[in-house]
Amino acid sequence: MELEFTDRKILNALQTNFPISIRPFLGIANYIGISEQEAIDRILELKKNKIIRQISAIFDSHNIGYKSTLAAFKVNDDITDFAANIINSHSGVSHNYLRNNEYNIWFTITLPSERKLEDEIKTLSIRSNASDYLILPTLRLFKIGVNFDMTGGETSSFKFFSHDDFKNDSDIKITDFEKACIRELQKDIEIKPEPFEDLSANLGITQEKLLDTIKDFISDKKMRRFACVLYHQKAGFSYNAMGIWKSPQEEVEKNGKIMSSLKEVSHCYLRPVYPRKWEYNIFTMVHSKSKEEACIVMNKISLLTGIKDFDTLESTKEFKKVRVKYYV
């Protein structure tokens, strides 16, 4: 589908400036310079053509009482599909990919804080016949914020999430009312003039009360943002690569900030190392329109940081990609 420039402007606005109001699509329309009905019609068409995946709240799992980690399994090539099916069967697994590394299956798993990630990953490794595995939790978050620039301009209003936004475990308190709101707000909203109408009715509260709760969630760092998520391949960003970097420990902070400053980098994390087994400590995610474009970004990072020991892990197969469902 060839996107018109108006559609591209709408997609940028939906990703970065979704209005927290009773009639958000009117706000989008006024920003773009079109009617509310045209905005709604265009968004419906973008959903129909699988450009827009979902419009909903994007919560920070840690700040609402969950914990998550990246994990990597080393699995024989002839049983990767078998292993992936075992991993995918776990309700806490949201993303699962085959990548070009000896640790070839990479997935993220998210659980309520009272459950033990390590135990459940170990069980999955046994069931999937993995010969070895890595547990790679986030030690420091430099950046997370997937924002596909659809017009080629700068979307400077976009605020990405970083480690400073994390709460201490002892400060995380989620009320029953907040849990109920989280259950509703993680749903894909209906594309109509008042999309929060049904969600607020399900909760038995006014739309104004729900909107105030969204604003409170955002200010309290429980919600990263309310925004649309795109099918990145259909949106033109068909290539993604995980960059793994061996940074000297004393330069981690500097290098993490350099990497996260690049708009092409959507994620940047510090993760643990396993001496003589796995010594890459900074991870980046780059989404681009081609492999060549991603290589340019990776080489730019190497030049800016001085890191020569790095690798690019390509996603050669997508086994699973779903949204985490909280408090269901």
Share of the chain above pLDDT 70, in %: 90
Look at residue 317 in the predicted model and tell me its pLDDT: 94
Cα-flanking dihedrals φ and ψ of residue 165, to 5°?
A: -90, -5
In a domain, 27, yes or no: no
Query: Domain holding 297: CATH number?
Result: 3.30.70.3460
Q: Which two tokens stand for residue 312?
A: 């690019």
> Which of 218 and 150 is assigned the larger pLDDT?
218
Query: pLDDT, tens digit, for every residue of 134-160?
Result: 999 999 999 987 665 656 654 443 445
Across the chain, what does the average pLDDT equal? 92
Strands 265-270, 282-288: pairing is antiparallel
2 pLDDT tier (thresholds 50, 70, 90): confident
Q: What is the pLDDT of residue 288?
A: 83
Tell me the residue range of the domain where 305 lies: 139-148+237-321
Q: Which residues are catalytic?
A: 95
Long-range contacts of 36-41 (CB under 8 A, 24+ apart): 36/193, 39/10, 40/191, 40/192, 40/193
* Residue 224 included in any domain: no
Residue at 43 is within a domain: no
Q: Is residue 279 part of a domain?
A: yes
| In contact, 45 and 264? CB cutoff 8 Å | no
According to the model, what pLDDT value does residue 155 have? 44
Q: Is residue 229 part of a domain?
A: no
Give the predicted TM-score (pTM) of the model: 0.88
Q: Does residue 200 form part of some domain?
A: no
**Number of folded domains that form the chain:** 1
∠ CA 305-240-159 to the nearest 5 degrees? 65
pLDDT in tens, 163-197: 555 556 667 899 999 999 999 999 999 999 999 99
In a domain, 256, yes or no: yes
pLDDT at site 152: 63
- 294 φ, ψ to 5°? -65, -40
